[in-house]
Structure 1
Amino acid sequence: MITLRGLEKHYGKTSALSQVDLTIRDGEFLAILGPSGCGKTTLLRLLAGFMKPTAGSIQFGETEVANSKYCSKPENRNIGMVFQSFALWPHMTVEEHIRFSLKNHRFAKKRTAAEQADRVTEVLRLVGMESFRKRYPTALSGGQQQRVALARAIAPEPDILLMDEPLSALDAELRISMRKEIKQIHKKLAATIIYVTHDQGEALAMADRVLVMQHGQIEQTAAPEEIYQHPKTPFVATFVGKANLVAGTWEENHFIPAGSHYRWQDNGVSEQLKQQQFYPVRPEEWQLLPPDAEGLKGEVIISQFQGTERHYVIRVDGQEYQASLPISVPAWREGDLLTLQVKGMETAVSREKILFR
């Protein structure tokens, strides 16, 4: 188990991390998600031992590995690291990379030459690179190089695997393929993985738990489904899933959108969003209805074909909302007038009208 207490990192007057408290369970896949400059890579570097915190402490199990006065070296921590840039040596073959980590990782098991050879083969099979063992990095594709970097990191069987945006240099199709590879490897290894990314798709698809950061602080930590369906803060709502924040007024368990008399029921909106008088609506949660229907009146500003769905930008009283509908639904054209309603809320609206007659 990894425990962070009051962790801070300052660069002069600039605060990269502020009061980070976190517990990471053994064998957990934790994704640290956030925009550039939010502090996620700083947090990973502190966990790796590349630098010392300004305040607070880091504990691996029962051992404190870092505080404001002390920082154990990376080689004294049983970790593996996968970098964004792959960091492969051009003069070593694929199998030499794996053997190097087995020989030089301080916490690697003592193995005979035959046992090392077996472990090299085992790891290369795990990442699907056994047939490339004699190749040099320059003869490999980007995805293959990333597999080698991953194999090198897991070969010594570290307790903790740290991954710093490892897929960002790959094209979209390769990233999706590597997501599956990494998730399958995690199941087989049962090691703790801490995975830094700015890609919400990666975080939601792979992680057991997602930590969302902004301005060096934790906004929310929860399972992917919880993060997506029940964001706690306006930032989490808009960063993960691109929710529309509809302004209005909360009255107990009902929400009245600004400039309307419609009442939407509470679907699990957080107290923080309620206090700021917002109702989050995901793009796929909108219904687009004829202009004479009940709901928010708007105009289609942008209509974009995206293969399996269409994306719309709809202007309502000067506010722009994003909506996504399946391609099976008849398309709306730019300039069309329509009504916006949240799915499942039309019955609530009708019931409220009856009650208030």
Structure 2
Amino acid sequence: MATDIRNVSKVFSKTTALHSINLSINDGEFVAILGPSGCGKTTLLRLLAGFDSPSEGEIYMNGQCVSEKNKTTPPEKRNIGMVFQSFALWPHMNVKEHIRFPLLHHQFVKKEMKANPEKRIEEVLQIVNLQSFSHRMPHELSGGQKQRVALARAIAPKPALLLMDEPLSSLDAELRMDMRREIQQLHRITGATIIYVTHDQEEALAMADKIVVMNNGKIEQFDTPQQIYYNPRTEFVAKFVGKANMIEGIWCDEITFEPFGTSTPIQWKNIRVESQLKEKNLCPVRPEQFSVSDSAEGFPGEVMTVQFQGKEIHYSIKTELGLLTIHEDALKKPFRVGDHVSIMLKQPSMRNEYAKTSALSLN
């Protein structure tokens, strides 16, 4: 379902939760709304679901206005499905009954599915791999199985738009990884438009076709995961997605940056960043773009913390440029707290080459 959000604002009492949001989502896209707690992402999802109406602006679905100031089409009259953070399963219904319920009551269910709901129930059970659990009650299911039931209930009537509000936040790390794959598979099978709210940047980067990064009720950037990561447009996006080190300095030309505060002058060449960051004399450097060694090249630093992460070692290093976060390959020589090291920017930057070619392909 194609969805257009036009100049939407939402005010609660004296608090403005959303500021003039404009967003166009194409039919069949998987869009993640990413941001910290309180940024307005759940408020936006509630407006899309029809639980609230905007204070200003309009929302269109497939060309029809479904929300405007103080007026909204209720959820049951929109061709949507919803997956909640808390699963929201009914304790008196088994798995099969959860899937049957929307087939009998959803307004947009096709006649053939209403006439033969058992066929669709079996299809959905197979999609979510719950065939052998069809008669289990919610209290007899694990967390991952409960989430599959919530997904099955949402997709059973074949909604054109599937809304998900942090559906994996209550699961452990391993289950979250498994469910990411299953949700991606659901998207391929159903072809529905998915709008997925999360505060987890890894989820958004791994699953979405496009990401909306929100902060303080505003959209900071709406782009592909690759562009969000490699070519952030604002300081907030650079810090929030991928935890970039923000280096202060001066731009000598369009692609040459000279950091402030080093004992000997340093120039980084072939750096491409957005103009908004250049205007602030900033250069975002991802943790994996620095290299650490005990050679004399680069600029000096002292290792403050070391965190082993399997394939990587995460260092925090005190330097002339401030405290830097650096990720190194675990197979390289490890350093310990207190070691004095040398730091260099890896050249050429893979990020910049990707950003350049990706930007060309999008134009």
Same fold (TM over 0.5): yes
- Give the equivalent residue in structure 1 for 2:260: 258
1:330 aligns with 2:320: no
Q: Which residue of the other structure, out of 289, 310, 314, is the alignment partner of 2:313?
A: 310
1:291 positional shift: 5.2
1:110 positional shift: 2.0
1:203 aligns with 2:204: yes
- Give the equivalent residue in structure 1 for 2:342: 339
- Give the equivalent residue in structure 2 for 1:116: 117
| Secondary structure of the corresponding residue to residue 247 of structure 2 | strand
Instruction: After superposition, give the CA deviation of every residue in 1:83-103 in whole Å (9 maximum; x if it has no partner).
Output: 000000011010001100100
| Secondary structure of the corresponding residue to residue 128 of structure 1 | coil
Q: Give the partner amino acid of 1:304.
A: Q
Cα distance in 2, alignment partners of residues 156 and 46 from structure 1: 21
Does the CA contact (< 8 Å) of 2:103 and 2:113 recur in 1? no
Greater mean deviation of Cα atoms: 284-293 or 307-316: 284-293
1:290 positional shift: 2.2
- Give the equivalent residue in structure 2 for 1:283: 287
Instruction: After superposition, give the CA deviation of every residue in 1:194-223 in whole Å (9 maximum; x if it has no partner).
Output: 000000111011100011000000000111
Instruction: After superposition, give the CA deviation of every residue in 1:115-153 in whole Å (9 maximum; x if it has no partner).
Output: 210000000100001110011000000000000000000
Judging changes above 3 Å, is the alpha-carbon distance between structure 1 residues 145 and 299 closer, same or farther for their aligned structure 2 residues?
A: same
Instruction: After superposition, give the CA deviation of every residue in 1:181-200 in whole Å (9 maximum; x if it has no partner).
Output: 00011001110000000001
Instruction: After superposition, give the CA deviation of every residue in 1:50-97 in whole Å (9 maximum; x if it has no partner).
Output: 001000110001210011132111111100000000000011010001
Does the CA contact (< 8 Å) of 2:261 and 2:321 recur in 1? no
Cα distance in 2, alignment partners of residues 194 and 317 from structure 1: 43
Q: Give the partner amino acid of 1:334.
A: V
1:268 positional shift: 2.2
| Secondary structure of the corresponding residue to residue 72 of structure 2 | coil
1:340 positional shift: 1.3
Greater mean deviation of Cα atoms: 302-311 or 229-238: 302-311
Judging changes above 3 Å, is the alpha-carbon distance between structure 1 residues 102 and 289 closer, same or farther for their aligned structure 2 residues?
A: same
Q: Give the partner amino acid of 1:273.
A: L
1:317 positional shift: 2.4
- Give the equivalent residue in structure 2 for 1:350: none
* Aligned-residue RMSD, C-alpha: 1.3
1:138 aligns with 2:139: yes
Q: Give the partner amino acid of 1:250.
A: W
1:304 positional shift: 1.5
- Give the equivalent residue in structure 1 for 2:52: 51
Instruction: After superposition, give the CA deviation of every residue in 1:213-252 in whole Å (9 maximum; x if it has no partner).
Output: 0000000011111111111111111110111011111111
Cα distance in 2, alignment partners of residues 232 and 62 from structure 1: 30
| Secondary structure of the corresponding residue to residue 116 of structure 2 | helix
Q: Give the partner amino acid of 1:75.
A: E
Greater mean deviation of Cα atoms: 229-238 or 296-305: 296-305
1:333 positional shift: 1.2
Cα distance in 2, alignment partners of residues 225 and 205 from structure 1: 10
Cα distance in 2, alignment partners of residues 110 and 103 from structure 1: 10
Does the CA contact (< 8 Å) of 2:304 and 2:338 recur in 1? yes
Q: Hey, which bits of structure 1, 4+ residues long, moved more than 3 A?
A: 111-114
What is the aligned residue count?
Answer: 345
Cα distance in 2, alignment partners of residues 308 and 55 from structure 1: 49
What is the correspondence of 1:1-357 to structure 2 with a 5 Å cutoff? 1-111=2-112, 115-252=116-253, 253-260=255-262, 261-290=265-294, 292-293=296-297, 295-317=298-320, 319-344=322-347
| Secondary structure of the corresponding residue to residue 111 of structure 2 | coil
Cα distance in 1, alignment partners of residues 175 and 326 from structure 2: 28
What TM-score, normalized to structure 2? Answer: 0.93
Instruction: After superposition, give the CA deviation of every residue in 1:148-184 in whole Å (9 maximum; x if it has no partner).
Output: 0000000000000000000000000000000000001
Cα distance in 2, alignment partners of residues 72 and 114 from structure 1: 27
1:113 positional shift: 6.8
Cα distance in 2, alignment partners of residues 296 and 14 from structure 1: 46
Gaps of 5+ in 1: 347-357
1:111 positional shift: 3.5
Q: Give the partner amino acid of 1:263.
A: Q
Does the CA contact (< 8 Å) of 2:257 and 2:271 recur in 1? no
